[in-house]
Amino acid sequence: MSTTPVLQTVVLGGGPGGIGVLLAARRGESLARLMAGGFAIVERDDAIGAGSIGNHIITSDSTGDTFVDCLRADGHPALAALADDPVAAAVARHGAGAVPLPLVGDLMRRIGGVLAGLVAAQGGQVLTGQAATGLTQQADGSWAVALRQVADGRPHVLHARNVVLSLGAEQPTTRLYEEPVAGAPLLPRYADKLVQSGALFTAAGAAGVAARLRSVAEPRVAVVGGSTSAAAAANLLLDALPGVAFQPGGVCLLHRRPLRIFYGCADDALADGYTEFGPQDICPLTRRVYRLAGFRLDSRDLIMRAHGIDGRTPDPRLLLHRIDQAPPAATQGILDRADLIIAALGYRPRTLPVHDTQGRPIALRGAGAAMRPLVDDFCRIVDAQGRPIGGLFGLGLANGFVPSGRLGGEPSFVGQANGLWLWQNDVGAIIVDQLLGGIGRDDLPDPYPRSVARPLFRLAERAASVH
């Protein structure tokens, strides 16, 4: 009989998503209860909190108020004390505005440091410098979590009844070979001039793009995508590449769907002359217009200027091009003439190999290049047939969770909803409630047990107004 201890919870990934589980449990006794069952958080870097968010040289699409919300007095006292930290104060000064992501990374590292102390003080484990390599389900429904030391590759195994995957996200190259843009994929046709938006957002990536474009008299760049990443890429190109001078139409944003604008309420939108919305585009909880689909902060300003909303003057250097409303030849011509193409087609969550009790691979719905949700409405990871896999949960960028019902969000929304505030509050609470026993497991004729969640929702007017 094995004497290997089985932890109640292991969180894989200590970035903003992973620590969202801890922050969602920060009120009342939830954090202590989470530790009491046996807990570990695993991070490949040397500290938890920041992940890769600080490596990006763009600004946030969340406000300064959102980032410091977890430091309010109604949370844990150790977090509230962090509000006086100079970095936290610097973030707070941005108020309702965007924050440079390197500064956000500094704040998240400080928050991670406080959380690591709380975890250790209450008997939990913070395992840094370790990377997860796979999961295997055991006969009793628990999971063997294979780890390796980043420094020397030494293997290690944890056993847990529940595992939360929050391993960050990536832009799969395979998607660029498969997804057609105006009738043909971007790769391999444009391999010599294509850059993923995630690479552009790093200091080295932006410097490389600038060096390439400075040698062109009248550079042309095509940004393919209609997401926040696409707008952020256009903003960076126009305003943050020293020595690169774009002429009118030098940056072209190619998108398939309308570019929606976030508003605090319908009256504000109408006052600006913005009428591209209906009842299905208004969040029933907050009454916000395009609460999930709308551009915010710097990206919002860019798109509003491009459309001349509220009397804004369009930037002549930026051209908007609707792929679905133009002949394929016109779109292909823009791509052919571009000196550089930025692919901003979205992110997919990083996953691990998952095996059943017989060692057979379990295919996950959200793995691979296709834009399919990794999780269901209770943040449970599902297999390729959409069946929840008992004891596996997902949280973080690109997992595909979409708020609805009591969480709000406009009924018309299609796509992914990624929000740090949501991870730290209502979405994180859905997972925490299940980890603390607010579920029952049915013995169904499935290869793995299915959890039935009884989620917790913490919806207050102040909280709802943050996101």
313 & 417 share domain = no
Q: Is 269 a member of any domain?
A: no
Q: Report the share of the chain in percent with pLDDT over 90.
A: 84
What's residue 3's pLDDT? Answer: 62
Quickly state the pLDDT bin for 414 (edges 50, 70, 90).
confident
For residue 163, pLDDT over 90 is answered with yes
Q: Report the share of the chain in percent with pLDDT over 70.
A: 92
Q: Is 285 a member of any domain?
A: no
For residue 406, pLDDT over 90 is answered with no
216 & 106 share domain = no
For residue 455, pLDDT over 50 is answered with no
Note if the pTM is more than 0.75: yes
312 & 366 share domain = no
**Nearest-angstrom CA–CA distance, 230 and 208:** 18
Q: Is 284 a member of any domain?
A: no
Quickly state the pLDDT bin for 371 (edges 50, 70, 90).
confident
Q: Is 206 a member of any domain?
A: yes
What's residue 269's pLDDT? Answer: 98
Helix (H, G, I), strand (E, B) or coil at 157: strand
Q: Is 31 a member of any domain?
A: yes
For residue 466, pLDDT over 80 is answered with no
- Residue 234 lies in domain: 173-259+295-343
Tens-digit pLDDT profile for residues 310-360: 999 999 999 999 999 999 999 999 999 999 999 999 899 999 999 999 999
For residue 454, pLDDT over 60 is answered with no
201 & 139 share domain = no
198 & 321 share domain = yes
**Nearest-angstrom CA–CA distance, 453 and 88:** 35
242 & 199 share domain = yes
For the segment 299-314, the average pLDDT, to the nearest whole number, is 96
Number of folded domains that form the chain: 2
Q: Read off φ and ψ for residue 435, nearest 5 degrees.
A: -65, -30
Quickly state the pLDDT bin for 73 (edges 50, 70, 90).
confident
Q: What CATH number did the domain enclosing 125 receive? A: 3.50.50.60
Residue 437: which residues within 8 A CB-CB, separation 6 or more? none
Helix axis angle, 297-307 to 228-239, nearest 10°:
80
- Identify whether the C-beta of residue 411 lies closer than 8 Å to the C-beta of residue 289: no
Q: What CATH number did the domain enclosing 223 receive? A: 3.50.50
Last residue of a domain, one of 313, 343, 373: 343
361 & 236 share domain = no
What's residue 307's pLDDT? Answer: 96
What's residue 441's pLDDT? Answer: 38
- Identify whether the C-beta of residue 106 lies closer than 8 Å to the C-beta of residue 54: yes
Q: Is 271 a member of any domain?
A: no
369 & 336 share domain = no
Last residue of a domain, one of 312, 343, 374: 343
316 & 379 share domain = no
Higher pLDDT, 445 or 203: 203
For the segment 150-175, the average pLDDT, to the nearest whole number, is 95
239 & 359 share domain = no
140 & 182 share domain = no
Tens-digit pLDDT profile for residues 185-244: 999 999 999 999 999 999 999 999 999 999 999 999 999 999 999 999 999 999 999 999
For the segment 244-252, the average pLDDT, to the nearest whole number, is 97
**Nearest-angstrom CA–CA distance, 381 and 387:** 8
Q: Is 92 a member of any domain?
A: yes
- Identify whether the C-beta of residue 35 lies closer than 8 Å to the C-beta of residue 122: yes
Question: Chain-centre distance of CA 348, in angstroms?
Answer: 9
166 & 177 share domain = no
Q: Is 142 a member of any domain?
A: yes
